[in-house]
């Protein structure tokens, strides 16, 4: 089972868009891989509909999306057809047909005592490194807006070398401001005091400082 900080395993997968090699297919881009328990199931259908409605928002921040379940390609294709005909949304992102469960096992997507994948989410950066992993049980659907928010936060952290507070950019304490990484030396503490005097940062204490981007 992979963990945060590891390289996404190199695999060739069969998808609704043809064969792909991961993570190479998305080299230089962020991508979100998410699994669902099964095609033609109620909660999964609501998730796919909602993801397609937000797909442009993921693409706007340079992220691709790919789904996965242990169903076969023909099942994915028929389900996609049903969603288009009955719900009015054409699923445009690829879906992996992991019918042997090999990738799902490799990524730890299959819960104990089950043969279907959990609702797992893997956020992978442009270097193919797994940066975030989220799991939901089969009976609870995901919030794609939160996944999008977390992805934006990761990108902001990488770009500016900062940390992001709860529910950023709508935090109850500091709004859309970002957190300055904790001081690790006495010199860092002194530097923070100077930055605070200059109005460059604000602090509740030297270990909890924040600033605007």
The model's pLDDT over 5-19, given as tens digits with 9 standing for 90+, comes to 999 999 999 999 999
Q: How do residues 25-36 score in pLDDT, each as one tens digit?
A: 999 999 999 999
Average pLDDT over residues 108-115: 82
Q: What is the mean pLDDT of the chain?
A: 95
Does the structure show a pLDDT above 90 at 111?
no
Structural contact between residues 34 and 68, judged by C-beta atoms closer than 8 angstroms: yes
pLDDT band per the 50, 70, 90 thresholds, residue 163: very high
Q: 116 Cβ partners below 8 Å, 6+ apart?
A: 37, 38, 69, 70, 110, 138
Structural contact between residues 62 and 29, judged by C-beta atoms closer than 8 angstroms: yes
pLDDT value of residue 11 = 95
Token pair in block for residue 85: 């005909």
Does the structure show a pLDDT above 90 at 115?
no
Q: How many CA atoms lie within 13 A of 212 on its CB side?
A: 2
CA–CA separation, 95 and 38 (whole Å): 12
pLDDT value of residue 116 = 83
CA–CA separation, 153 and 166 (whole Å): 10
Q: Which residue has the tokens 């957190």?
A: 179
Structural contact between residues 151 and 30, judged by C-beta atoms closer than 8 angstroms: yes
Q: Which residue has the tokens 């996965």?
A: 68
Q: Virtual CA dihedral for 43, 54, 68, 122, nearest 10 degrees?
A: -110
Domain-wise residue ranges, the chain:
11-142, 161-213
Average pLDDT over residues 170-177: 98
Report the catalytic residues: 44
Task: Tell whether pTM > 0.85.
Answer: yes
Q: How do residues 44-81 score in pLDDT, each as one tens digit?
A: 999 999 999 999 999 999 999 999 999 999 999 999 99
Q: What percent of the chain has pLDDT over 70?
A: 100
Structural contact between residues 68 and 35, judged by C-beta atoms closer than 8 angstroms: yes
pLDDT value of residue 117 = 87
The secondary structure of residue 113, as a DSSP letter, is: T
Domain 161-213: assigned CATH number: 3.30.1020.10
Q: 167 Cβ partners below 8 Å, 6+ apart?
A: 149
The secondary structure of residue 129, as a DSSP letter, is: B
Domain 11-142: assigned CATH number: 3.40.30.10
Where helices occur in 88-178 by DSSP H, the ranges are 102-106, 144-160
Structural contact between residues 120 and 34, judged by C-beta atoms closer than 8 angstroms: yes
CA–CA separation, 122 and 25 (whole Å): 15
């Amino acid at each position: 089972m992979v963990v945060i900080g590891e390289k996404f395993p190199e695999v060739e997968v069969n998808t609704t868009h043809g064969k792909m090699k991961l993570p190479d297919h998305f080299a230089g881009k962020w991508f979100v891989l998410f699994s669902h328990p099964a095609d033609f199931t109620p909660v999964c259908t609501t998730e796919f509909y909602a993801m397609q409605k937000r797909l442009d928002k993921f693409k706007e921040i340079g992220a691709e999306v790919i789904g996965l379940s242990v169903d076969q390609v023909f099942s994915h294709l028929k389900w996609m057809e049903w969603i288009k005909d009955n719900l009015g949304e054409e699923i445009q992102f690829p879906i992996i047909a992991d019918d042997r469960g090999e990738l799902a096992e490799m990524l730890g997507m299959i819960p104990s005592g089950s043969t279907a994948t959990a609702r797992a989410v893997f956020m992978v950066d442009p270097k193919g490194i797994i940066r975030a992993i989220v799991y939901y049980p089969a009976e609870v659907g995901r919030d794609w807006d939160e996944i999008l928010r977390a992805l934006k936060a990761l990108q902001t952290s990488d770009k500016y070398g900062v940390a992001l507070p709860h529910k950023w950019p709508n935090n109850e304490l500091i709004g859309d401001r970002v957190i300055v990484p904790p001081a690790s030396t006495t010199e860092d503490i002194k530097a923070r005091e100077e930055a605070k005097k200059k109005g460059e940062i604000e602090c509740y204490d030297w270990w909890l400082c924040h600033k605007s981007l």
